[in-house]
Structure 1
Amino acid sequence: MPDAAPATQTLVDPLDPARARALQATLGLTPSIEAGDPLPPFFHHIYFWEPLLPADLGRDGHPAKGGFIPDLGLPRRMWAAGELTFHTPLRAGSRAEKTSSVEQVTRKDGRSGPLAFVRVRHDIRQRGAICLTEWQELVYRQDPGPDAPKPEAPKAKTDEDLCITRRFDTTALFRYSALTFNGHRIHYDQPYAREVEGYDGLVVHGPLLAQSLMLVAEARMGRLAGFRYRATSPLMHHEAASCCWTKGGTLWVRAPDGRQNMIAEAR
């Protein structure tokens, strides 16, 4: 049954163009954004930081649960999916306001044990006008047991019209974590990622994969009106990502062994 979750918070940010240029460089793009320029899709993720004291962080480096996100009694968290509606471009160097609300908390029993899904909505405004609406789906679960089998990942399609290969080494993951103020240890602490959360290496950020797919889609389709994505298996820092696109606006990320890491739709 869904849990009641009325939590709401508002954050304000001036959208410093220098930070946008730093993200462009991290993504291998020429740093060019100046004040007044439209931000590329998904660049808002490097803004609206919520700096917390070390005592207010959980074991994984994220904010401790029980504040804006309720404490669900499950230690592992992942960004499972997202959806965005782009109303009008955000402009660099102009004050913006993000209002966030927890829309729903749902508990389920999965093959690996209890799960909890949290749906969060963000509305971002500039000069009184709404520019962007975003929904995020977060999943919480138990730690894996020592003998727990790894979930079987789906196989990715191979019928793309365009494929761009991207690599995200430890430096890229560090820089993206810093720009998004994301302290989750699975992106920079290999012993923690392997020994506590059971991954084969450092995990490439789900939003970083989504960002890469959005840039591919925008380059082929022009300014996006919306984008929807879902993570289907983690990609490790030592694996190349094949960012695939078809003319209908369907996208996905394929790992070197053929497994599907993410699926998406652009419009």
Structure 2
Amino acid sequence: MSEAIQTLSDVIDPARARAMQAILGHDVAIENGMSLPPFFHQLYFWDPQPPENLGRDGHPKVGGVIPDMGLPRRMWAGGRLKFHAPLIAGQGAKRVSFVEMTERKQGRSGPLGFVTLRHEIWQEGQLCITDWQDLVYRQDPDRDVPKPNPPVARQDEKVCQVQCFDSTMLFRYSALTFNGHRIHYDIDYAKKVEGYGGLVVHGPLLAQLLILLAEKQLGSLTSFEFRATAPLLHFEQAQLCWIDGAAWVRGPDGRQCMQAHAVG
């Protein structure tokens, strides 16, 4: 069993959860004593660092909680969640974090670093959520190397919801989750340094939307896993798709941006 690398405590403030509901365009309804929607725990357990402890991308520098693998670009590639018990608004909670895996490999586009974190969310002595977070680190893009073609999304969904994004939504979500990654709000950095065509929609935001779609179809969830497969940009309209436990995000050109699986 790995040792904990970090423990953070927080109060599950219902005002923060209501702000998230507002960002998503939902009814603002969460009060003390109510259960949070699944994955809303990402709004809590901030770890604010002074400017000198930040990397060029706005994230805390590696070498602390996350080991330094010598690669500058970070992506949240996917994750897995197990929901053991509801997280209750208005009560204290803690997040205990572990590094489960680090690995460096040679990919088609150059070296890649993989890190898997496991977060345990506890409240009133009970384990409520286990959250595995898969991160990928890579080199800066080579403008002379063509980008790989993204996977094509399936077309057999039973449910399809249209979702639009803009820079305001991405900025508010970054602020609420205390995510300083500049690809989500600094368009010059996103384009000139990391080689994207615009601001990048947060992977966890896409996962959140798919989780809420799955919850609507299944009722309460026991587990959810997701994998980011292609970037979605802030000016693009997406389709949130569902069929029989499978969920995915389809971009405007038919590419698959995220795939997921939910269990009720």
Task: Provide the rounded CA distance (Å) in 2 between the counterparts of 1:220 and 1:103.
Answer: 32
Provide the residue aligned with 1:105 in structure 2: 102
Unaligned runs of 5+ in 2: none
What's 1:77 paired with?
Answer: 74
User: Aligned equivalents of 2:136 and 2:245: distance in 1?
Assistant: 26
Identity of aligned residues (%): 62
Q: Say yes or no: does 1:118 pair with 2:154.
A: no
**In structure 1, C-alpha distance between the alignment counterparts of 2:165 and 2:207, rounded to whole Å:** 13
Q: Is the 8 A contact 1:190 1:202 kept in 2?
A: yes
TM-score between both structures, scaled by the size of structure 1: 0.97
**Cα offsets for 1:173-228 (capped at 9, x unmatched):** 00000000000000001110011000010000000000000000101110101000
Q: Per-residue deviation at 1:148?
A: 2.0
Matches within 5 A, 1:203-222: 203-222=200-219
Structure 1 residue 146, shift from structure 2 partner: 2.2
Alpha-carbon RMSD across the aligned residues, in angstroms, is 0.9
Q: Does 2:24 align with 1:14? A: no
Cα displacement (A) at 1:6: 5.6
The reply to whether residue 188 of structure 1 matches residue 189 of structure 2 is no
Distance in 2 separating the partners of 1:7 and 1:86: 20
Letter in 1 for 2:186: D
Match of 2:138 among 138, 141, 148: 141
What is the CA-CA distance between 1:158 and the residue it aligns to? 0.7
Q: What is the 5 A alignment of 1:1-267?
A: 8-246=5-243, 248-267=244-263
Count of residue correspondences: 262
Q: What are the superposed Cα offsets for residues 116-141 of structure 1, whole Å, 9 maximum, x if unpaired?
A: 10010000110000000010110000
SS of residue matched to 1:158: coil
CA distance in 2, matches of 1:86, 1:136: 15
The answer to whether the 8 A contact 1:60-1:184 is kept is yes
Deviations 1:211-255 (A, max 9, x none): 000000101110101000000000000101100001x21000000
Structure 1, unpaired ranges of 5+: none
Task: Name the CA distance, whole Å, in 1 between partners of 2:47 and 2:164.
Answer: 29
Query: 1:111: how far off?
Result: 0.5
Give the distance between the partners of 1:32 and 1:7, measured in 2 at CA.
35
SS in 1 for 2:205: helix
The answer on whether the counterparts of 1:7 and 1:68 sit within 8 Å (CA) in structure 2 is no
> Distance in 2 between the 1:162 and 1:7 partners?
40
Helix, strand or coil at the partner of 1:244: strand
Partners of 1:177 and 1:183 within 8 A in 2: yes
Cα distance in structure 2, aligned partners of 1:190 and 1:129: 42
Consecutive aligned runs of 4 or more in structure 1 exceeding 3 Å deviation? none
Conserved in 2, the CA contact under 8 Å of 1:240 and 1:256? yes
Contact 1:6–1:103 (CA<8 Å) still a contact in 2?
A: no
- Equivalent residues of 1:250, 1:266 under 8 A apart: yes
Distance in 2 (alpha carbons) for counterparts of 1:210 and 1:167? 15
SS in 2 for 1:165: strand
C-alpha deviation, 1:7, in angstroms:
6.0
1:39/1:91 contact within 8 Å kept: yes
